[in-house]
Amino acid sequence: MDTRFLVYPIGDGLHMIANSERDILGPTNAIMIETSLLKTPAFCLDSWYWFRKGEHAGMAKSDLRKGEHERTWRSLPMGNPIEEAIADKLKTYSMPVFEGENQNRFMCTIKDEFTYEVYDYHMALCFELPTLKLETSNFDIMHWHAKRLMGACIDLTNPNPLWDTTSG
């Protein structure tokens, strides 16, 4: 996974973005981005970020626009960074189910504004992940996934199919 940009949730629908860990010298150097932009696959993060860096450096907007038009290449849209980060973290840190690795085991897609769907193909399971969980700084995707796997195992081994493990 490419870690060119570091993105940190800071709450209130905002993230702080940096090109590297050394990029942020203090609060005045921080570049903020709306979370809704990060959820848009067609958003070109590269162009947006460098335009904001130029503004922070005191460059005139006209010079920044001219420089953008003169570029001979265009970066690709950023894709789905949140979904890719979830799948990558699960792939990297989950114990493999089959021999080998977790290649092609996990996929994450956005279901709606409030929910992501996390697929675990090796376990043939799909879990819903509320977007609000991702906005908390102490959320641990590995712990969340392990709890969902445990719940699925309990459901499968339960002798009473009418008993609900999600209540209480």
- DSSP labels for 116-151? EEEEETTTTEEEEEEHHHHTSTT--HHHHHHHHHHH
pLDDT for the residue numbered 150? 92
pLDDT for the residue numbered 106? 93
Q: Strands 115-120 and 14-18, how do they pair?
A: unpaired
CB atoms < 10 A from the CB of 83, how many?
19
pLDDT for the residue numbered 167? 55
Nearest to 66 by CA among 58, 57, 54: 54
CB atoms < 10 A from the CB of 99, how many?
5
pLDDT for the residue numbered 145? 94
pTM, whole model, 2 decimals? 0.55
Q: Using CA atoms, how far apart are residues 44 and 71, in angstroms rounded to an integer?
A: 14
Q: Are 166 and 147 in contact (CB under 8 A)?
A: no
pLDDT for the residue numbered 116? 94
pLDDT for the residue numbered 117? 94
On the question of pLDDT at 2 being above 60, the answer is no
